[in-house]
A = this chain, B = another copy of it.
Amino acid sequence: MSQILVRNINILTMAGPENIIENGEIAISGDKILSVGTSGSAPKDFKPELEIEGEGMVAMPGFINCHTHAAMTLLRGYADDMPLMEWLNKRIWPLEAKMGEEDIYYGTLLACLEMIKSGTTTFNDMYAYMDKAADAVSESGMRAVLSRGLIGAAPNGSEALKDGINFVEKYQGAAGGRITTMLGPHAPYTCPPEYLEKVMEAAEDLGVGIHIHLAETLDEHRDIVKQYGKTPVQHLESLGLFNYRTLAAHCVHVDETDIKILAENHVGVAHNPESNMKLASGIAPVQKMIETGVKVGLGTDGASSNNNLDMLEEMRTAALLQKVSNMDPTVMPAYKALEMATAGGARALGMEGIIGQLKPGMKADLILVDFSAPHLMPQHDYYAHMVYSAHSADVKTVIIDGELVMQNRKVLTIEEEEVIKHVKRCVKKLLS
């Protein structure tokens, strides 16, 4: 059981904007935070095996990426600047159809490498061959919520659901609890009502939540309204889907009624601003959702529509985009943006009180960010610097589940060069 003391560090606990501890220390015992406080506040009988000097650094909860498709790293930069359906039909889907277990394994490992190096400690993933994704997560030391993507309208829809159910049964609580699972019906426009009924039955039986894309594009909105006479959100509500814990990705095209429904049903929303911008899907009314009480977290979406998995960047973009789209610079201040990327993400994923804040008893998922580079000087405001100025390369050390996963930018759990070699090989094969 690891015993780590991080000392002489400035701490953003994310338990409220005033909760900044300067020159503090964090004691970690096993997979949990034992204490967080000023210098000398760790219990007198705490005997750390490892002491990490934090001078010049800021500690905060690791980022929670609420929506991604990790193995899509393999398609990073493969197709860009194209209309969505052309992008999917002509480029992404044909290549995805060729992907096998090995691709998913190495693609996910590459994603984990990138995420760890940019300070993400938990991610919510939806893709295929998820047992291989789980293997990668397990090795990487990361925490993840995994779901097998289900296209109900596809010929293998029923088979996929069986597969998704098997995956939940096998992997819920795997990797010492770091892996949890959900069911992953892709979207209302790819999963007809009768299919979603079956997914709900399975969610009931298994006691797990549902991860779904929702109201991402205007086309989806129009199609669902045309087919069911309801907005995508109202369509899912009428099916009773929100009776199950739901993480809905995107929610770009939602009106006031939709937003109220999302809030009242405690639906978690994953906001993915860079993907929504890059695919020109639109600007989600995040400020309005938060004001209405919707649990909004932040996500990067897959690397082929972003094109990286960098939560610091995503957070900055989210804040700036809300300000300009609301024509109000006071909207989404730095603390709120940072909250969305940490504690807010935990709430959206139903993991409140477990991750997303630095508090005794919570999982020891934290990052140490070096604030000594020129672009972080001088230091008037830690929150503003973290949101508006910091880069992923400033993340120096990552601890997940009490284990040191990256130290001084060296990822300790994954052989970086080895993974990159395999990724290149996989991609060469996919393109041949």
Which residues of B are found within 8 Å of A277, using beta-carbon distances? 320-321, 323-324
Residues 362-396 of chain A, each 1 if its beta carbon lies under 8 Å from chain B, else 0: 00000000001111011111001100110111000
- Give, as a whole number of angstroms, the nearest-CB distance from A309 to chain B: 7
Closest to A326 in B: B280
CA distance A278 to B379 in the complex (A): 19
Closest to A281 in B: B324
Closest to A324 in B: B277
On whether the beta carbons of B80 and A308 are closer than 8 Å, the reply is no
Residues 5-32 of chain A, each 1 if its beta carbon lies under 8 Å from chain B, else 0: 0000000000000000000000000000
CA distance A427 to B378 in the complex (A): 7
On whether the beta carbons of A80 and B393 are closer than 8 Å, the reply is no
- Give, as a whole number of angstroms, the nearest-CB distance from A400 to chain B: 17
Residues 103-120 of chain A, each 1 if its beta carbon lies under 8 Å from chain B, else 0: 000000010011001100
Residues 81-92 of chain A, each 1 if its beta carbon lies under 8 Å from chain B, else 0: 111100100000
CA distance A307 to B378 in the complex (A): 11
On whether the beta carbons of A324 and B381 are closer than 8 Å, the reply is no
Contacts known (A110-B374, A374-B113); A380 close to B76, Cβ less than 8 A: yes
On whether the beta carbons of B389 and A77 are closer than 8 Å, the reply is yes
**Is A330 part of the contact surface with B, judged by Cβ < 8 Å?**
yes
CA distance A215 to B280 in the complex (A): 26
On whether the beta carbons of A379 and B77 are closer than 8 Å, the reply is yes
- Give, as a whole number of angstroms, the nearest-CB distance from A223 to chain B: 17
Which residues of B are found within 8 Å of A377, using beta-carbon distances? 73, 76, 110, 420, 423-424
**Is A327 part of the contact surface with B, judged by Cβ < 8 Å?**
yes
**Is A74 part of the contact surface with B, judged by Cβ < 8 Å?**
yes
Which residues of B are found within 8 Å of A317, using beta-carbon distances? 317, 320
**Most B-side CB within 10 Å, residue of A82, A308, A330:** A308
Which residues of B are found within 8 Å of A419, using beta-carbon distances? 374
Which residues of B are found within 8 Å of A375, using beta-carbon distances? 114, 117-118, 308-310, 392
**Is A160 part of the contact surface with B, judged by Cβ < 8 Å?**
no
- Set B75, B83, B323, B393: member contacting A329, Cβ < 8 A: B83
Could you show 9 A-B contacts with beta carbons less than 8 Å apart? A80-B334, A83-B328, A117-B373, A278-B324, A279-B329, A308-B388, A308-B389, A310-B375, A313-B313
| Complex A-B, nearest 4 residue pairs according to Cβ-Cβ distance, in ascending order | A393-B393, A277-B320, A81-B333, A77-B384
- 14 new A-B contacts, CB < 8 A, other than A77-B384, A278-B324, are A73-B374, A80-B334, A80-B381, A83-B329, A83-B330, A277-B321, A278-B320, A280-B327, A307-B389, A308-B388, A310-B375, A374-B416, A374-B420, A377-B424
